Structure 1
Amino acid sequence: MRIRATVAAVSGALALSAFVVPGAHAAGSAGSSSYRADVAKVQEAARAASGKTAFTGSTGAVTGDPYALNVTFSNIKVNGGKAIPVGISNHVAVPVTYTLTHAADVDITAGDFLNGPYLYKGSYDAPVNELFGDAPGTCTATSATVASCEGDIDIYPAEGELINSDAGAWKAAGLAIAWNGQDPDDPNLDLSKVGVADQGGFTSPNVERYSKLTVNAAPEPVKKGKTVTVTGKLSRANWEDNAYHGYTVQPVSLQFRKKTSSTYTTIKTIKSDSTGNLKTTTTATVDGYFRYSFAGTSTTPAVNATGDYVDVQ
């Protein structure tokens, strides 16, 4: 089990090999450790205690078990409630707001008090993947024991943080660590002096594979009453080879708007083929723009192609 706000049953041994901590972009926190590395230490200890990961050894003489920190999270809102599209290379910073409530004896202004949001895929007790921020969240006290906080969850798809099966539903959580003067890098760290609160089960929007859609209408120009052939392709990010591949057998609408209008109207709906390609025909009537429109799925965002103008003579 992970450490929760009400449970502290973790081992003193720390094994970091099972937790990937991106180092090139990790932001610094208290001491010489990065925030992600600090989180890794705490969560790896908790998983090892539950038998979910094996120890691979640690240097020094780490002792003690972290205690349950009297901190709880609420009102976690990820990305304003909107889905999170992720491509193949660009860093995605996902904003999160939340409320942190703490006991009067917990000093959230201490330099080595860290807290922040994260996302997890699968169950809270045994997640198949997790996404964290590069830096801890920042909080503003609204009372003696309540603070309004915000932070980012940083996603780097080009660094292997996601696989294709990760697309879809995730949950949100909050984590707080009070190091209380302990050095996270000390090989003789006394964990009994470190407080931890980890609380999950919050709603999060889906993490989605970024989509692209193209269109080409021909011939241009075309005589009125003649056939226009409209081709295109629907593709989406593949997080495992960092490329875009056709999204197959998906319903896509062919739409048209007159040159004098700002509104598209659906002409027909077709399906992408086995490689994501699209092709259909229609009759030329007036000057205007053709485009394809994809409504999206739980794993892939909606997308509209840029309209292709056809001059009808």
Structure 2
Amino acid sequence: MIRRPVAGVIRRGAVVGAATGLLVGAGASADAASDSALSDPVVSGVTVNSGHDVIVGITHNVSFPVTVTGSDDSGLLAADVDLKGPHGGFYTTDAMCESGTACTMVFTVNAHPAPGSDDPVDLANANAGTWSVDTLVDANDGDSVYAPNVGTFALKRAAQLTVNAAPEPVAKGAWITVTGKLVRANWDTYRYAGYAGRAVKLQFRPKDSSTYTTVATVTTSNTGTLSTKVNAVRDGYWRWNFAGSATTGPAKAAGDYVDVRP
């Protein structure tokens, strides 16, 4: 079941971090008041996508888990979770807790058209970046607690890289030209487009090694293209490696093998 909680509404419980007052009536003890306050459920944290960025392309739905952890003397029952991103990005869902201390739900996002859907979910480029997590947790005894901004995560546009090293084969000591292109998902047009002005590492792995070493760093052109010349010393693989940005995921090209002849 999907619900959309009204902002600011708190059900039967406390707001995490809010100052609270307790009126003790005639005959009530301070100890009893303290015990009552301790009975409110507590939200201790949230984990999104097992701690990894959520990276979305232009053709497939991406599903990821969100786990809220906490405690209550009666055990946790259920949780509502809202994900809020830049420029009005918003997802919400709820789930019953799988234990008295953890509640896991799965979100599905996409950046491609969903014609015919009753509730299409469609990301825009402006939604990429840091998202925050709000949660409302219910305990088995009827108490609830609202925890705003209990965590953050990154929702990013997918990136892709190509590479070509030429000529091949090549004589030892000669120059080769390594080209490529960095593109990223455009969630507004449902296509991949060149990513301009990005620093990308050129890396080399000798034929008899499993380790790549950075040889140079090149900035992409205004269309995302890359090009540089390197000296051919020995047989091996050349690739481009992009570390990612605040809005875009990382990408590595598959190594292009160059045969260097004496």
Task: Give the secondary-structure state (helix, strand or coil) at the position aligned to 1:220.
Answer: coil
Q: Distance in 1 between matches of 2:60 and 2:43?
A: 30
1:166 and 2:127 aligned: yes
- CA distance in structure 2 between the aligned counterparts of 1:245 and 1:148, rounded to whole angstroms: 40
Mapping of 1:1-313 within 5 angstroms?
35-36=1-2, 39-40=3-4, 42-43=5-6, 46=7, 68-70=11-13, 73-101=43-71, 108=77, 115-122=79-86, 128-133=88-93, 136-142=94-100, 147-159=101-113, 161-175=122-136, 198-313=146-261
Change (3 A) 1:129 1:177: farther
Please say if residues 60 and 110 of structure 2, whose CA atoms lie closer than 8 Å, have aligned partners that are also in contact: yes
Amino acid at match of 1:130: F
Using the TM superposition, give the Cα deviation of residue 248 of structure 1 relative to its aligned residue in structure 2, in angstroms: 0.3
CA RMSD of aligned residues (A): 2.7
CA distance in 2, matches of 1:277, 1:176: 49
Letter of the structure 2 residue corresponding to residue 119 of structure 1: L
Kindly report structure 1 stretches of 4+ aligned residues shifted beyond 6 Å.
none
Percent of pairs with identical residues: 37
Query: 2: CA distance between counterparts of 1:217 and 1:141?
Result: 54
Q: Secondary structure of 1:157's match?
A: coil
Q: How far apart are 1:278 and its partner, in Å?
A: 0.7
Alpha-carbon deviations, 1:137-182, whole Å to 9, x = none?
241343xxxx32111121122145211111111101214589xxxx
TM-score, normalised relative to structure 1: 0.65
Identify if the C-alpha distance between structure 1 residues 196 and 258 changes in structure 2 by more than 3 Å, giving closer, same or farther.
Answer: same
- TM-score normalised by L of structure 2: 0.76
- Structure 2 unaligned blocks of 5 or more: 14-40, 114-120
Kindly tell me: are residues 155 and 175 of structure 1, through their superposed partners in 2, closer, same or farther at Cα, counting changes over 3 Å? farther
Deviations 1:89-138 (A, max 9, x none): 2111111211255685x993xxxxx633331125xxxx7121234xx324
Task: Give 3-state SS (helix, strand or coil) of 2:171's partner.
Answer: coil
Q: Is the 8 A contact 1:117 1:153 kept in 2?
A: no
Higher strand share: 2
Q: Shift of the alpha carbon at 1:72?
A: 5.4
Distance of 2:150 and 2:198 partners within structure 1: 31
